[in-house]
Amino acid sequence: MYIEVDKITGKGVSIVVREVNTVIKKHRRGIVRIALIYPSIYEASLSSLATHMIYFLGNKYDYVYIERFTVTRLSGKEPLPRSLETRTPLNKFKYIIASIHYEPDYVNLIRILLAAGIEPYRNRRRLQHLVFVGGPAPMANPAPLEDIVDGVFVGEVEVLLPTFIETLIENIDDPKKLIENLCSKEGFYIPDCSEKTRRIWISNIDEAFYPIKQIQSIDKEPVYGRGYIVESARGCPWWCRFCLEGRLFKPYRPRKYSTLKDLIQKGLEVNSLDRVIFYSLYFLGTVDEKRILDYLGNQGIKASIPSLRVDVLNNEALDLIKNIGQKTIVVAPENISNKVYRAFCKCFRGVSSNKDLINTLSNIVDKSFDLKLYFIIGVKGEDMDSVKENIDFIRKIASYARRKGKRVTVTINPLIPKPKTPFQWIGMIDLEKARRILRYCVKELSGITDTRPYYANWAWIQASIALGDRSIGKILVEWAIEGGGLGGWRRTINRNNYSTKYVFTGYPYGEELPWNKIVIGEYVEEVCEKEYIVLKRILLK
């Protein structure tokens, strides 16, 4: 069974999106309709576990109907947004929630509100439409959206969404009271009301809700390909100093083998799929994850896995990965110069030198895998000798892979400072220097690897939003009116004479930070301060 869902394209031509597992409910009296916005394109929404989680968890309630919205393009003018399920215009929904992973998607949320004729500023909406957001970006720093959204989910959806829905139902006739009541509940940050909001997380993910049914498009290919999404673990046990998500989702909570096996068996059958897509910040960190790969390989079930740490990639692991049909291993060395390596604190067990790292990567190639590598090149305190050292390292492994007939793809970006990490006090390198480094890397690796730089201007935009205070909300709205895009950002910044100096200087240590009202807990804030002292000595001495 599938449902054909009309969708308006950017050109205003009506097409059909055919889906499996779409939730359809009758619009009976008393049902509460909630719009779920994924502020990116439709294909990206299909690869978002958060979308499936919110959609199916919320729709478990008989008296709630959650309908989905996406944008048709990532810049420019949007057509009137209509729900995928019933083609209802967005402005007919009083309650709107959005999951935002990536800071530049803030502008897409505002673009879709504007396209619906919904006032983006919270105070001007006067409770006519209530907008709530969640996800790593606003959870870490809600300040940029304080004048736009009515509330932020600070924590994990399995706990917070039921509380939100139940509170909504209790106050369905009084939006003002709904806001007041949410302000008093843990895990909800309400602008101009909340003092300190502590993150809420679920302790036992084996017993938590999981979307066994997942939306499947008949015609559209998800950005990560077709497959059943399985979150094998949540959080990460490591403390890489640049990584925001590793801090936001502590503690590390792996799922048991029995749970993973049960989810996979049910999910593949229900969704009529033959491929598993694993989600995890730290994969192959447990015996149970190795056991589940062994099970899949023995059953002839294909799977794809996330980025891996080199210290888990022994011969046993590589054989398990080969048996599930994975052809490329994704590894993030980040930076191999001694100074930056120490600053990042991304330590690999059993890998004490670059020679050890080269040997591990060479062994992956020897096992007939292609390689995809992620590097962060362009950090305060890093000199050109460090940059060249990284380039020479990449050349060595790429040359070896070429001799073996294998391919190496390299993604390079400058460090993007994030809140709740010690780089909030360090900042980003000068923009022109970032551009020079990226140009140098692309030139030096030309013809050797498939090099994919994350352009400095977008790194600047992402950092400007990630570290922004409340004043950047006005910039986001005007940027959305411009249609988004790099040109729109520049015009908006220049017109408002808005300074992003804080991106490059970092915040003064000891001063109040825009995101201090959010408490992640699990020692994140305490560790962050201690790390800054060490980081400053390494990079800025």
- Whether the CB-CB separation of 426 and 540 falls below 8 Å is answered with yes
Identity of the residue numbered 170? E
What is the torsion angle, in degrees rounded to the nearest 10, for the CA atoms of residue 29, residue 30, residue 33 and residue 34? 180
pLDDT value for 367: 97
Average pLDDT over residues 363-391: 97
The C-alpha atoms of residue 154 and residue 108 are separated, in whole angstroms, by 21
Average pLDDT over residues 419-434: 97
Identity of the residue numbered 84? L
The C-alpha atoms of residue 413 and residue 431 are separated, in whole angstroms, by 12
Residue 350: is it exposed, middle or buried by C-beta count within 10 angstroms (0-12/13-18/19+)? exposed
Q: What is the mean pLDDT of the chain?
A: 95
- Whether the CB-CB separation of 463 and 428 falls below 8 Å is answered with yes
- Rounded to 5°, the CA angle 209-113-169 comes to 45
Average pLDDT over residues 509-531: 96
The C-alpha atoms of residue 34 and residue 518 are separated, in whole angstroms, by 26
pLDDT value for 18: 86
Q: CA 137 → CA 145, 427, 468, 477, distances in Å? A: 10, 17, 11, 17
% of the chain at pLDDT higher than 90: 94
- Rounded to 5°, the CA angle 182-186-187 comes to 85
Average pLDDT over residues 300-309: 97
- Whether the CB-CB separation of 329 and 370 falls below 8 Å is answered with yes
pLDDT value for 351: 83
Cα 142 from chain centre:
15
pLDDT(7) > 60: no
pLDDT value for 13: 34
Q: Where are the alpha helices (DSSP H) in 219-286?
A: 245-248, 257-271
pLDDT in tens, 59-110: 999 999 999 999 999 999 999 999 999 999 999 999 999 999 999 999 999 9
pLDDT value for 238: 96
- Whether the CB-CB separation of 356 and 333 falls below 8 Å is answered with no
pLDDT value for 9: 41
3 state SS of 55: helix
pLDDT(291) > 60: yes
- The domains found in the chain, sorted by start residue, are 3-198 (3.40.50), 224-325 (3.30.750.210), 327-456 (3.30.750.200)
Q: Which of 381, 432, 435, 429 is closest to 412 using CA atoms?
A: 435
The C-alpha atoms of residue 238 and residue 348 are separated, in whole angstroms, by 10
Lowest mean pLDDT segment, chosen from 16-20, 42-46, 168-172, 502-506: 16-20
Neighbours of 400 (CB within 10 A): 17
Q: CA 484 → CA 109, 365, 480, 488, distances in Å? A: 11, 41, 5, 5
Average pLDDT over residues 483-509: 97
Q: Characterize the bridge pairing of strands 14-20 and 216-217.
A: antiparallel
Q: Characterize the bridge pairing of strands 253-254 and 233-234.
A: antiparallel
* pTM (two decimals): 0.95
Identity of the residue numbered 160? L
pLDDT(3) > 90: no
Q: Which residue has the tokens 């908006």?
A: 492
pLDDT(220) > 60: yes
The structure tokens listed for 217 are 């498009």
pLDDT in tens, 165-211: 999 999 999 999 999 999 999 999 999 999 999 999 999 999 999 99
The C-alpha atoms of residue 260 and residue 524 are separated, in whole angstroms, by 29
pLDDT(15) > 90: no
The C-alpha atoms of residue 142 and residue 387 are separated, in whole angstroms, by 34
The C-alpha atoms of residue 27 and residue 540 are separated, in whole angstroms, by 61
- Rounded to 5°, the CA angle 287-293-298 comes to 125
Helix 472-481 × helix 106-115 angle, to 10°: 50
- Whether the CB-CB separation of 232 and 292 falls below 8 Å is answered with yes
Lowest mean pLDDT segment, chosen from 193-197, 261-265, 345-349, 402-406: 345-349
8 phi/psi in degrees, rounded to 5: -90, 125
Q: Which of 466, 425, 242 is closest to 335 using CA atoms?
A: 242
3 state SS of 20: strand
Q: Where are the alpha helices (DSSP H) in 141-271?
A: 157-170, 175-183, 245-248, 257-271
- Whether the CB-CB separation of 256 and 286 falls below 8 Å is answered with no
Residue 418: is it exposed, middle or buried by C-beta count within 10 angstroms (0-12/13-18/19+)? buried
Report the b/e string of 472-481 with b at 16+ CB within 10 A.
bbbbbbbbbe
Average pLDDT over residues 154-162: 98
Q: CA 121 → CA 113, 117, 190, distances in Å? A: 10, 12, 14
The C-alpha atoms of residue 510 and residue 533 are separated, in whole angstroms, by 12
pLDDT value for 16: 56
The enclosing H or E element of 8 equals strand 3-8
pLDDT value for 530: 95
Neighbours of 86 (CB within 10 A): 15
pLDDT in tens, 313-323: 999 999 999 99
Of the pLDDT bands very low, low, confident and very high (cuts 50, 70, 90), residue 347 is confident
